[in-house]
Structure 1
């Protein structure tokens, strides 16, 4: 199953969002724009605004794997002149609505990568360990995605990943089993 749009904005979702940015998350309809591509939300939203007006709204898509963990992914949607939001970026798994947390401080900057944020749901020690290892892996790998950085993983970092990956994958399989 994995992460998807949360079915409701409950206390756990609000608590996670509060760790990301102030404000209330809201559901936003996804209607892919002309020529829009999966995973290119920043350029998709900018192009839609250029064509149809409005403005780009920056923030985070909130994903949830119920009972396991939350994940926030840096994202952009369009704000119409009446203030309503709509997402013009097609979703990888065909979602027709997302949970979006506006964050005016999260303006897209191609020189600054904003990693996904994760938080295990309370009471799930397997998810807590999985999230901790996911963050550790991302910290290693994201260092190689920054502009101007040599993308060859050092032997030291590869050794760190090799030590993390078996446990990380085993935890994921355990989460899948429920």
Structure 2
């Protein structure tokens, strides 16, 4: 799977972003802070702002697997006192930049879990099925989420039985579209 920041702000990327926030997406350089932890963008951005001035800005990191799907991940970056944006959180794949979509309506709230938002990049039926399965799986697993949780707990035997065929079908689809 090749999921990374969109290479350019084309019409498909802009259309996906417009379904999430009326703000304009912007490429932000990634330079992880020395003490920053992967997947802790909210904490990393706040701590960096406390040490360097500026503020955390909330929104979405936009990812794309060309021809397959777009994915928006709730995210935070640091805004310097001069107004420049910087992603201080280490990113998988170590991209030089991320596409960040500011969203003032989506601040970080530790008591609220915001799922990733996905949309097909094209019209392939298997991709649409995969996205539907992600949502179906998320509806089950999100019931286990609690504020401050780093990883999901073990699922009940009943939910394990519900998740197993979803995971199997998702793996089949990924093998076919990769």
Q: TM-score, normalised by structure 2?
A: 0.92
Matched, 1:158 2:160: yes
Find the counterpart in structure 2 of residue 58 from structure 1: 58
CA distance in 2, matches of 1:139, 1:19: 21
Q: 1:148 to 1:169 in 2, by over 3 A?
A: same
CA distance in 1, matches of 2:8, 2:83: 22
Q: TM-score, normalised by structure 1?
A: 0.92
Q: Deviations over 1:13-41 (max 9, x none)?
A: 11111121111111000011121111111
Q: Deviations over 1:69-128 (max 9, x none)?
A: 000001100111222211111112111100000011211111111111111112211111
Moved over 6 A (4+): none
Find the counterpart in structure 1 of residue 27 from structure 2: 27
CA distance in 2, matches of 1:162, 1:38: 28
Matched, 1:172 2:165: no
Q: Please, which runs of 5 or more residues in structure 1 have no aligned partner?
A: none
Partners of 2:3 and 2:65 within 8 A in 1: yes
Matched, 1:36 2:36: yes
Find the counterpart in structure 2 of residue 144 from structure 1: 144
Partners of 2:110 and 2:148 within 8 A in 1: no
Say what the alpha-carbon RMSD is for the aligned residues.
1.8
CA distance in 2, matches of 1:146, 1:171: 30
Partners of 2:2 and 2:65 within 8 A in 1: yes
Find the counterpart in structure 2 of residue 71 from structure 1: 71
Find the counterpart in structure 2 of residue 103 from structure 1: 103
Query: How far 1:151 sits from its partner (Å)?
Result: 4.2
Partners of 1:121 and 1:128 within 8 A in 2: no
Q: Does 46-55 or 151-160 show the bigger shift?
A: 151-160
